[in-house]
Chain A
Amino acid sequence: MALEVRLRARGPIPLDVAFRAEAGEVLALVGPSGAGKTTVLRSIAGFWHPEAAWIAVNGTTWLDTEARVNRPAHRRRLGVVFQAYALFPHMSAVHNVMAAMECADAAEARRLLHLVNLHGLETRRPAQLSGGQQQRVALARALARRPQALLLDEPFSAVDRATRERLQEEVSALRAHLDMPVVLVTHDMAEAQLLADRMVVIVAGHMVAEGPTAAVMADPAALRAMGIRELAAMLPATIAEQDADGLTRLDGPAGPLFLPGLSDPPGTRVRMRIPAQDVILSRQRPEGLSAQNIVPGRVLRSVSGTGPGVLVHIDVAGHEIVARITRRAALQMDLRPGDLVHAILKSMSVARGQVIRAPDGDDD
Chain B
Amino acid sequence: MDWTALWLSLRLAGWTVVFLLPVAVIAGRALAYRRFPAKGLVEALVMLPLVLPPTVFGFYLLVAFGGNSPVGDLWQRLFGHQLVFSFEGLVMASVIFNLPFAIQPAQRGFEAVPVEVREAAATCGMSPARSLWRVELPLAWPGVMTAMVLTFAHTLGEFGIVLMVGGSIPGETRTIAIAIYDRVQAFDMQGAATMSAVLVGISLVTIALTYWLSARVGRRLS
Contact = CB atoms under 8 A, between A and B. Distances in A.
- Whether chain B is bound by chain A comes out as yes
Interface of A: 45-47, 72-80, 82-84, 86-90, 99-100, 102, 127, 141-142, 144-145
B125 interface: yes
- The 4 closest A-B CB pairs, nearest first, are A86-B116, A100-B124, A73-B122, A86-B120
B134 A84 contact: no
Interface centre among B123, B125, B222 (most CB of A within 10 A): B123
Interface in B119-147: 119-128, 131, 134-135, 138-139
Given A47-B119, A74-B131, A86 B125 contact: no
Contacts of B128: 74
B220 interface: yes
Contact count band on B:
20 to 34
Interface in B163-222: 220-222
Contacts of B222: 127
Given A74-B127, A74-B128, A127-B222, A89 B117 contact: yes
Interface centre among B117, B125, B127, B128 (most CB of A within 10 A): B125
A82 B126 CA distance: 16
Contact of B119 (A75, A82, A144): A82
A84 B119 CA distance: 12
29 contacts: A45-B122, A46-B122, A47-B119, A72-B122, A74-B121, A74-B122, A74-B127, A75-B125, A76-B123, A77-B125, A78-B123, A80-B120, A82-B119, A83-B116, A84-B116, A86-B119, A87-B117, A88-B117, A88-B121, A89-B220, A90-B139, A90-B220, A99-B121, A99-B124, A99-B134, A99-B135, A102-B125, A141-B124, A145-B123
Contact of A145 (B116, B119, B125, B139): B125
A144 B121 CA distance: 13
A87 to B, nearest CB: 7
Contacts of B221: 89
A80 B117 CA distance: 11
Contact of B123 (A80, A84, A102): A80
B114 interface: yes
B125 A100 contact: yes
